[in-house]
Amino acid sequence: MRRTALLLTSLLLCCAVVAKRIPPKRPRILGIAGATILVSNVADARNFYLKLIDPNHVCNYCEQAPARFLFLPNGQRITLEKAPDPLPANLLGEVSLLTEDLEGFKRYFHANKIEFGEVRQKRGGELIRIVLQDPEGHHISITDSYHLANADDLSAGLPPSHARNSVRIIHAGFIVNDRAAADHFYQDVLGFHLYWHGGMKDDETSWVAMQVPDGTDWVEYMLNISPTADKRTRGVMNHISLGVPDIHAIQAQIVKAGVKLTEQPQIGRNGKWQLNLYDADATRVEFMEFTPVQKPCCSEFAGAHPGPHP
């Protein structure tokens, strides 16, 4: 009996040593959970973005929600945050990624010596978001679907929008000056992989789409941008993209809702229909069809295309 107990204890100790040596596995990243956009006027910005994500909006109950939060039909969230004065250079305040295991990410980041912060509920102290910065200083957060919809700063039980269209965030783009450093963070640390790259000319790379490891959404490096670029250029580059099945259908819907277009739909270099709009602070919102209608320039796609549901 004693010998059996000693053997069992030794076995448990060995297992503990082996477990300690095995680094924790990175939890899955399923897609983009949401984005925070800095604006000079939250009420005006809400009116603009609501017409884009839900042009047929008639829900009076939804108006009871805090004005700075907008939910897309699939549960993604756009947060509108009052920007400081003067406006900062980058108005894409945060890109949030979706996971199933926040605590697993804590262990993974600790094991890989990645600095991060924690956002916890005011009541109870439950972890609701992990926050960190990429090498360019862009704010990245990681959350899960439960806490995305049940944070302290939301009304209890607030339902997602019941928009009849299939619009959802499929990517977010931002200026990147050091591609190698960005690749180390997104590819080596977070597990992203190349989806597509291209430029205005076939032999140049101005945009690099890095797809999440366990879904079809992506982040887009906007390369070759001057450090002295003006507000308009920065607003074009630091952007979000809303995926839709039919660019001309969404064009008709938002025009009917009162949105004034400054550009017309066009087929981008990636072979997909797209339509650009700009909020009052010159941040670009890009509608993009989920799938290409012609062969892309510069490189072939290296990942699955998004669709109405992630």
> Do 48 and 29 meet the contact criterion of CB atoms below 8 Å apart?
no
Residue finishing a domain among 120, 149, 178 = 149
Distance of CA 283 to the CA centre of its chain: 15
Residue 122 confidence (pLDDT): 85
Is residue 139 domain-shared with residue 204, that is, in the same domain? no
Domain count within the chain:
2
Backbone angles phi, psi at 150, to 5 degrees: -135, 30
Whether residue 35 lies inside any domain: the answer is yes
Print the domain residue range for 130: 29-149
Residue ending a domain, choose from 149, 178, 211: 149
Structure tokens belonging to residue 137: 């200083």
Would 97 be classed as within a structural domain? Answer: yes
For residues 75 and 124, state if they share a domain. Answer: yes
Find out whether 66 and 153 touch, Cβ atoms under 8 Å.
yes
Cα gap 256→184, rounded to integer Å: 44
- Same-domain pairing of 51 and 145: yes
List phi, psi (to 5°) of 222: -105, 105
Residue 157 within a domain? no
- 133 with 186, same domain: the answer is no
Domain assignment of residue 140, yes or no: yes
135 and 239 share one domain: no
Question: Is the alpha carbon torsion for 186, 192, 193, 199 positive or negative?
Answer: negative
The per-residue pLDDT for 5 is: 54
Q: What is the CATH number of the domain that holds 197?
A: 3.10.180.10
Is 200 found in the same domain as 124? no
Indicate the pairing of strand 92-99 with strand 29-39. antiparallel
How far is the C-alpha of 104 from the C-alpha of 247, rounded, in Å?
A: 39
Reported pTM? 0.88
Residue 279 lies in a domain: yes
Residue 309 included in any domain? no
198 and 260 housed in the same domain: yes
CA-to-CA dists, residue 118 to 35, 150, 267, angstroms: 18, 16, 41
Pairing mode of beta strands 218-222, 239-244? unpaired
- Average pLDDT per 10 consecutive residues for the chain, totaling 310 residues: 54 49 92 98 95 78 64 93 94 98 97 96 90 98 81 47 73 98 98 98 96 98 96 98 98 96 98 98 98 97 92
For residues 114 and 194, state if they share a domain: no
Q: Does residue 137 share a domain with residue 183?
A: no
Same structural domain, 281 and 210: yes
Angle at alpha carbon of residue 144, lines to 140 and 149, rounded to 5°? 100
Residues 131 and 45 in one domain: yes
Q: How far apart, in whole angstroms, are the C-alpha atoms of residue 103 and residue 123?
A: 18
Closest by CA to 224, choosing from 243, 242, 237, 211, is 237
Domain assignment present for residue 12? The answer is no
Instruction: Read off φ and ψ for residue 239, nearest 5 degrees.
Output: -145, 170
In order, the DSSP letters of 13-73 are HHHHHHHHHSPPPPPPEEEEEEEEEEES-HHHHHHHHHHHH-TT---SGGGGS-TTEEE-T
Pair 73, 113 in one domain: yes
In a domain, 11, yes or no: no
